[in-house]
Amino acid sequence: MPPHFSFEGHYLNEKGLDGATRLLWVLYKVRDEASSVFYLPDLVCLLLHFMSEEEGYCCVVKLLEKPSFVKYFYLDTSFLSPALQGLAQIYVPELGDRVNQLDVDKNFAEHWFSRLFVGLLPFQTTLRIFDCFIAEGLKALFKISLAFLHKYSTPLLKSTRFQDTLTDLMKSCEDTDDLLQLAFEIPLKSDELLTSIKLIRDATLPPLESLSVILTQDQLAILWTFVPPRYRIQQLKLLYCSSKHGFNLNIMMNRCKKSMPLILIIKTKENNIFGAFITSTMEKTANYVGSGETFLYRLFPSPKKWGWTGKNNYFFMLDMKPSIIVGGGGGYGLWIDDELDQGYSDRSETFGNSPLNGEREFRCVQVEILGFE
């Protein structure tokens, strides 16, 4: 479950809580994108007020296939409140300026989006907003947020305790018709919203131009969310690129030297993109090395991260042949030969991964290693 989630505020009985738990377990197990949908637990709980578990599952699957929902997957919730502040400068300019003057916490509205307003507004108001969210996705939440700031701009402009005043106003917001009417009058377009969020996101990312010829900006952003937070405060640098330095494992080893951790990126003949986050140096060893922060990932065709299962410690090995091995037990999660040409991927007990390329064997057309400094 996301750390921000709580069943409190959903008013589900014991049967409803059990049903929500089961449904979420299934979704996280069978849907690759589920872990990237920050509002999924609240979405499931709200749906179960109106339908059975089976109907809820079908509804969630259909929603997760809608373009208006898909385009916002793999976004960190910390980008959403700053994006709202930027849009408030356009649609509620007086209040937007006031927020900046008071040095309000830039994430003051993060839970509006991550929790679908659950526990922040009266529950009946939340349900009305949920209807709009089902129809329009995240754009509806932004329009309603802007409408709320506009509706209560007068008391908020007068307040010197912005966050406390905002919390009190939300708890008493029961005039839903007026709020929704204001929201529908705001001419916010989907492209404008997505651009606003990505501007905030891209400001937190390393510059792509000097890093990778494989990744797009969106793929780099997804990969960056996979990386453990303690490493994201460091800068990324390109250590090895096969198109620049040649397809040779010894060259890769020499260029990476003592650097760690490392991000291995592979592009195959099928244009699939996947790799590994390696928590050890690129040196030959007779045994597995690394830590539980090691993981396998896929970026294309569908993003997914496979973390350590805890079943064994077969994280990484650069064996004497040499070849790259990531994961083990039942099969190698990732294996690449010394010419960085051929490889294969099986299900490994270390990560519980699916074959990264879809089929077991693959041919590399581009390989990169990123390091940290």
pLDDT given for residue 146 in this prediction? 96
Q: How far is residue 50 from each of residues 16, 34, 55, 323, measured CA to CA in Å?
A: 11, 21, 9, 54
Q: Would you give the distance in Å from CA 193 to the centre of its chain?
A: 17
Specify whether the CB–CB gap between 126 and 112 falls below 8 A.
Answer: no
pLDDT given for residue 306 in this prediction? 95
Specify whether the CB–CB gap between 258 and 284 falls below 8 A.
Answer: no
pLDDT given for residue 131 in this prediction? 96
Specify whether the CB–CB gap between 299 and 222 falls below 8 A.
Answer: yes
Cα–Cα distance, 9 to 113 (Å, whole number): 15
Specify whether the CB–CB gap between 74 and 225 falls below 8 A.
Answer: yes
pLDDT digit string (tens) for 45-95? 999 999 999 999 999 999 999 988 988 988 889 899 999 999 999 999 988
Residues 6+ apart with CB under 8 A from 148: 169, 170, 173, 179
**Structure pTM?**
0.86
pLDDT given for residue 322 in this prediction? 83
pLDDT digit string (tens) for 155-208? 988 888 888 899 999 999 988 999 999 999 999 999 999 999 999 999 988 888
pLDDT given for residue 321 in this prediction? 80
Domains of the chain: 14-65 (no CATH), 77-197 (1.10.472.80), 208-372 (no CATH)
pLDDT given for residue 96 in this prediction? 77
The two tokens of residue 290 are 């690394």
User: What residue ranges of the chain have pLDDT lower than 50?
Assistant: none
pLDDT given for residue 258 in this prediction? 85
